[in-house]
Amino acid sequence: MYGYQWIFLWLAQKTIPMGTAYAVWTGIGAVSTLLVGIIFLGDSANIWRLISASLIVFGIVGLKLAN
């Protein structure tokens, strides 16, 4: 990781399990990148892409609730 981003991951994993912290970190990055592509770059916003992104979000919420 570059810059100071690793500090935020380190701080997050102090209060939740490392696996959950990493899943949240990568999930936010993946879904954010998808949304930037759709909103600003004209990428396709078909139903399967949106369902897949929502499954990532639901998975992260499920990991957090399981703690």
- Could you tell me which residue, 45 or 15, shows the higher pLDDT? 45
Domain boundaries, the chain: 5-65
Q: Is 64 within 8 Å of 27 (Cβ atoms)? A: no
Q: Identify which of 7, 10, 20, 25 has the alpha carbon closest to the alpha carbon of residue 33.
A: 25
Could you read off the pLDDT of 4-42 as tens digits, one per residue? 777 777 777 788 888 888 888 889 899 999 999 999 999
Token pair for 47: 């139903």
Residues in the chain: 67
pLDDT at residue 1 is higher than 60? no
Q: Cα–Cα distance between 43 and 36 in angstroms, integer?
A: 9
Unique residue bearing structure tokens 């954010």: 32
- Could you tell me which residue, 67 or 42, shows the higher pLDDT? 42
The pLDDT, as a whole number, for residue 31 is 94
The pLDDT, as a whole number, for residue 54 is 97
The pLDDT, as a whole number, for residue 48 is 96
